[in-house]
Amino acid sequence: MKTIKVMTVFGTRPEAIKMAPLALELARRPEFEAVCCVTAQHREMLDSVLDIFSLKPDYDLNVMEPRQTLSTITSKCLTGMDGVLETARPDLVLVHGDTSTTFAGALAAFYHKIPVGHVEAGLRTYDKWSPFPEEVNRKLVGAIADLHFCPTAANRDNLALEHIAQGVFLTGNTVIDALQTTVQTQFRFSEPVLNCLDYVNRKVILVTCHRRENYGQPMANIMTALRQVADAFPNVELVYPVHLSPVVQEAAHKHLDHHPRIHLTAPLDVREMHNLMARCHLVMTDSGGLQEEAPALGKPVLVLRKETERPEAVAAGTVRLAGVEREPILQMASQLLSDPAEYDKMAHAANPYGDGRACRRIADAIAWHFGLRETPPDPFGPL
Ligand code: UD1
Ligand code: UDP
């Protein structure tokens, strides 16, 4: 039987978490020859995910530098991909989302006239400065890609507005596939503070914050508000696994050190993170991935951004936009911590982003596109 050589390309932690189950699905199926190329735009945070999913890349560009700029990531990935694509000659390159790796990976494949599949396609804020540079990255990849795997119907409709209708598949988000393999009721944390926390009698708030457009004053505002939340509510324990970016490390330690109920930890491995999320009371984050995972686990989310490209969970009532100013963040968190009715309105499971079968649909769609299957996959519909 003819096999299709499919290369997955990724480099950051969120891409790895969302591409690992797809890389494993492709490797399992006889109709594909699966090859994996990592740029290592992230090093430690990528390796942690590869380790958990037992994924061994065939190519590793090892591009990460401390305080890397957007130009250095893009140029190193682009030139590094040249040699990889010449050697491997895949039939299809799969990229994910909106990072510099995503953009460079798609562009390199295009230069080599290799078709591109875009996983997590069609997310938009329509503000090119927010998220920066991700909004422009994903639009450029949308223009290059031949296959577009949209998590939700709204994402598909966004592409239709850009006259992209061919090769579009509604699949759900692969992050929900990943989440189904990581959360366990009897999970024991290896991070000591997480094993000692009283998740029943205390209100554990899980925080993450790393976005480039929040560097500087917005990040200072967010962190000041977080400290004030901890000061105002003695039953709150705030857990913040701090991203390894030196800019974020500096801001987090400057504003949040030396508080008995604020716990700054190293980045958690993905199993620790998902199990902490499953036990916490509330999530406050500027992350994209956490906005998708927390609703599936029934955890309310305050988004520390001015906008979101993930409006589905806002519509479902489990996510609210808190912005990047100190006062509204403090006010919205205080309301959820002091008003049980308000909290209950948000604390219900919602699955607008996936049903755990996104990877299967994407693999089926690729097989269909290459003539190895008679029918396309059934589209994802929210549960
Ligand atoms: C990148 C993505 C962003 C995504 C985020 C996920 C771009 C432009 N941005 O942003 O879309 O939300 O990843 O986390 O692609 N570092 C380490 N070790 C690591 C990872 C990072 O030391 O394992 C440090 C390095 O000093 C690096 C810095 O963090 O230079 C920033 O990493 P970078 O990938 O440039 O930006 P992120 O903010 O992580
Ligand atoms: N995550 C993790 N450990 C951490 C912080 C985040 O495993 O310490 C996971 C999180 O569960 C989600 C993904 O990383 O799956 C999100 O990555 P990030 O917030 O870095 O990027 P974004 O989603 O904003 O692009």
User: CA-CA distance, 297 to 118, in Å (whole number)?
Assistant: 26
CATH topology match: 4-173+354-369 vs 192-347 = yes
pLDDT at 278: 97
159 confidence band (pLDDT: 50, 70, 90)? very high
pLDDT at 2: 84
Residue 1, pLDDT > 80, answer no
72 CB within 6 A, ligand 1: no
Q: Which ligand 1 atom is nearest residue 97's CA?
A: 11
pLDDT digits (tens, 9 = 90+) for 169-211: 999 999 999 999 999 988 999 999 999 999 999 999 999 999 9
User: CA-CA distance, 198 to 235, in Å (whole number)?
Assistant: 10
pLDDT digits (tens, 9 = 90+) for 118-155: 999 999 999 999 999 999 999 999 999 999 999 999 99
Q: Which ligand 1 atom is nearest residue 43's CA?
A: 23
Residue 120 a catalytic site member = yes
Which residue owns the Cα nearest ligand 2 atom 13? 14
11 CB within 6 A, ligand 2: no
pLDDT at 114: 98
pLDDT at 99: 98
Strand partners, 282: 205
Q: Which ligand 1 atom is nearest residue 44's CA?
A: 23
* Residue 102 CB contacts under 8 Å (≥ 6 apart), including other chains: 9, 10, 15, 95, 96, 118, 137, 138, 141
The sign one gets for the Cα dihedral 284, 358, 317, 282 is negative
Share the mean pLDDT of the chain: 97
Of all residues in the chain, what percent carry a pLDDT higher than 90?
98
pLDDT at 315: 96
How large is the average pLDDT for residues 292-319?
97
pLDDT at 306: 95
Residue 211 has φ and ψ, to the nearest 5°, of: -65, 140
4-173+354-369 folds as: Rossmann fold (3.40.50)
Residue 134 a catalytic site member = yes
Query: Taking the CB of residue 133, how many other CB atoms lie within 10 A of it?
Result: 18
Of the bound ligands, which one is closest to the alpha carbon of residue 71? 1
Distances (CA, A) of 198 to 128, 236, 343: 42, 10, 19
Query: Taking the CB of residue 196, how many other CB atoms lie within 10 A of it?
Result: 10
Q: Which ligand 1 atom is nearest residue 246's CA?
A: 26
Instruction: Indicate which residue of 120, 272, 309, 355 is catalytic.
Output: 120
Residue 289, pLDDT > 80, answer yes
134 CB within 6 A, ligand 1: yes
70 CB within 6 A, ligand 1: yes
- DSSP letter (8 states) at residue 212: G
100 CB within 6 A, ligand 2: no
**How do 4-10 and 116-119 pair as beta strands?**
unpaired
User: CA-CA distance, 144 to 356, in Å (whole number)?
Assistant: 27
* Residue 320 CB contacts under 8 Å (≥ 6 apart), including other chains: 300, 301, 302, 303, 314, 332, 346
Which residue owns the Cα nearest ligand 2 atom 9? 270
SS3 state at 35: strand
Residue 210 a catalytic site member = yes
- Give the Å distance between the CA of 286 and the centre of ligand 2: 10
208 CB within 6 A, ligand 2: yes
pLDDT digits (tens, 9 = 90+) for 347-375: 998 899 999 999 999 999 999 999 999 99
Residue 35 has φ and ψ, to the nearest 5°, of: -125, 150
DSSP sequence for 214-270: GTTHHHHHHHHHHHHHHHH-TTEEEEEE--S-HHHHHHHHHHHSS-TTEEEEPPPPH
pLDDT digits (tens, 9 = 90+) for 30-48: 999 999 999 999 999 999 9
Of the bound ligands, which one is closest to the alpha carbon of residue 38? 1
Among the listed residues 78, 24, 19, the one whose alpha carbon sits nearest the alpha carbon of residue 46: 19
Tokens of 304: 């520390």
User: Do residues 332 and 302 touch, judged by C-beta distance below 8 A?
Assistant: yes
How large is the average pLDDT for residues 314-332?
97
* Residue 89 CB contacts under 8 Å (≥ 6 apart), including other chains: 5, 114
267 CB within 6 A, ligand 2: yes
User: Do residues 83 and 110 touch, judged by C-beta distance below 8 A?
Assistant: no
304 CB within 6 A, ligand 2: no
Residue 328, pLDDT > 90, answer yes
Residue 382, pLDDT > 90, answer no
18 confidence band (pLDDT: 50, 70, 90)? very high
Tokens of 106: 């798609």
- DSSP letter (8 states) at residue 373: S
Residue 383, pLDDT > 90, answer no
- The amino acid present at 38, given as its one-letter code, is V
User: Do residues 243 and 214 touch, judged by C-beta distance below 8 A?
Assistant: no
Domain boundaries, the chain: 4-173+354-369, 192-347
- Give the Å distance between the CA of 113 and the centre of ligand 2: 32
250 CB within 6 A, ligand 1: no
Of all residues in the chain, what percent carry a pLDDT higher than 70?
100
Instruction: Indicate which residue of 15, 25, 60, 134 is catalytic.
Output: 134
User: CA-CA distance, 204 to 225, in Å (whole number)?
Assistant: 16
**What is the reported pTM?**
0.98
User: CA-CA distance, 98 to 330, in Å (whole number)?
Assistant: 30
192-347 folds as: Rossmann fold (3.40.50)
- Cis status of the peptide bond prior to 376, with omega within 30 of 0: no
